[in-house]
Structure 1
Amino acid sequence: MFNSLPWLASIPSLWLQIGIVGVWLGIIVLLAESLHRYTATDPERVRKVVHIGTGNVILFAWWFNLPAWLGITASILASAVALISYKFPILPGINSVGRQSFGTFFYALSIGILVGWFWYLHQPQYAAIGILVMTWGDGLAALIGQRFGKHPYMVWDSKKSWEGSIAMAVVSYVITSLILFGVEGNIWQTWVVSLAVALAATGLESFSKLGIDNFTVPIGSAAVCFFLMQIL
């Protein structure tokens, strides 16, 4: 199902496809900076707007069948910009979270690694699973945990909530099962592997010191999904 989207395949020009992705990213960054500059929106929520919005470019890359070199190059450039922005306020709306975190850098780095890994294997669905589990699962877990988290727990010096962790597990399961169902169909492995991915992603997200979960969650989720599907 997800590998057959004729209206997307009918867009002939690589530059036009890149332009569509660029416009999407521009809208997300502009929205985040506008919220940061002109509203009283909490910086963490602004960052999650970017977190959730930009991660969806993996779907454009998959459906457009963009070349791997393009995704890897974009990842390198985004990683460099992220590192520079920690020193200079290039995009304060993205990095102003009120705590030390290298999450933006790890975010960009993980996308490049997953594109390089699974585009080479001609199985981009696993890259999409890893990125979207991080994008939606981790993003919504943080927002729900902040808004509804009434039952906190501590991992190292990081405060989490059971409400946020449950949200992470549920969203991760839904995303993984939808993608596997679209690619593999209604087989028992779709539902079992999705559960394993959800549990792994939730566990990895709990250990999120300095934003490292933006690396461990997507890489770990994609790896668990890929290897279990090969074994089962």
Structure 2
Amino acid sequence: MLLLSLFSGLELIPPFGLQLASVAVWLSLVMLTAWGVSRFAQADSEIVRKIVHIGTGNVILLAWWLHIPAIAGITASILASAVTLLSYSFPILPGINSVGRLSFGTFFYSMSIGVLVAWFWYLQQPHYAALGILIMSWGDGLAALVGQRFGKHKYYLFGGQKSWEGSLTMAIVSFLICSLILMSVQGNSWQVWAISVVVALAATGLETISFVGIDNLTVPLGSAALAFVLTKFISG
């Protein structure tokens, strides 16, 4: 996360064309990696989906570090949301949306990015948007993979099946992301660690009670909002 600290402190803003090119290159690498894993490693569709899920979320770091304008992120979110809605009726994104159950996760994923960019770019505190999106992408993504591969201890809530291994992964990853991002901006303090514990538990709870993919909306928005409010409350 050292690079995160360095980039977040830079005042030089790259040209808009370079900003968009950086995002396009990263997304291309993510899609190429997903295609390669699917084509040559013969990985199942869930792994490919999570590569896209996690990799796409990291775009928020580029948006933060490169000072990409809010309008660009909001516009991209609206377009992506529209495409994903259409994909539920037409085979536009079959590999991403085919999860074997009713889910609007891809749509909520796109929507959450736009909402957080609009919110925290306006407040000039984009790190909270990054915090929420990365908890969703890395926390939820790794929790699903660990739960499916190694989840031996199952529990059921609101008709959904979860595993304690997956939930523990969600909590740990959420804590690490929250603490690292807050430390990069606020420095190392007991307040950062305390906030990170609360946010990690809340994010895990939101992921646990999710249905039809709504955790892709509640987890990032809830995590970012909670971290923001707790920081303001503790700092007075």
TM-score band (shorter)? Answer: over 0.9
Distance in 2 of aligned mates of 1:14 and 1:139 = 30
TM-score using structure 1 length? 0.94
Aligned positions, number? 232
Matches within 5 A, 1:30-179: 30-36=32-38, 40-179=42-181
5+ long unaligned stretches in structure 2: none
Among the aligned pairs, what percent are the same residue? Answer: 62
Which residue identity does 1:150 align to in structure 2? K
**CA RMSD, 1 decimal:** 1.8
Task: Tell me the residue number matched to 1:214.
Answer: 216
Contact 1:32-1:93 within 8 A present in 2 as well: no
AA partner of residue 55 (structure 1): G
- Letter of the 1:170 partner, please give it: I
Amino acid in structure 2 at the alignment position of 1:91: L
Deviates more, 1:20-29 or 1:5-14: 5-14
Q: In 2, distance between residues paired with 1:220 and 1:75?
A: 18
- Residue of structure 2 aligned with 1:186, choices 170, 188, 191: 188
Q: CA deviation at 1:3?
A: 5.3
Q: Is the 8 A contact 1:201 1:220 kept in 2?
A: yes
Moved more, 95-104 or 173-182: 95-104
Deviation string 1:53-85 (CA, Å, 9 cap, x unpaired) is 000000000000110000000000110111111
| Among candidates 25, 28, 53, match of residue 26 of structure 1 | 28
Counterparts of 1:6 and 1:57, CA distance in 2 = 14
Specify whether residues 70 and 3 from structure 1 end up closer, same or farther in structure 2 by C-alpha distance, changes over 3 A only.
farther
For residues 83 and 192 of structure 2, what CA distance do their matches in structure 1 show? 37
TM-score when normalising by structure 2: 0.93
Q: Secondary structure at the match of 1:87?
A: coil
Letter in 2 for 1:222: A
| Letter aligned with residue 34 of structure 2 | A
Is the 1:33–1:91 contact (alpha carbons within 8 Å) kept by the matching residues of 2?
A: no
CA 1:94 to 1:38, structure 2 compared with 1: closer, same or farther past 3 Å? farther
C-alpha contact 2:87 2:93 (8 A) present in aligned 1: yes
- CA contact 1:36–1:93 (8 Å) conserved in 2: no
DSSP-derived class of the 2:156 partner: strand
Q: C-alpha displacement at 1:40, in angstroms?
A: 3.7
Distance 1:7 1:207, change over 3 A: closer
> For 2:57 and 2:44, how far apart are their aligned partners in 1?
20
Q: Please list every run of 5 or more consecutive structure 1 residues that lacks an aligned counterpart in the other structure.
A: none
Do 2:14 and 2:66's aligned partners in 1 also have CA atoms closer than 8 Å?
no
Q: Which AA in structure 1 matches 2:188? A: N
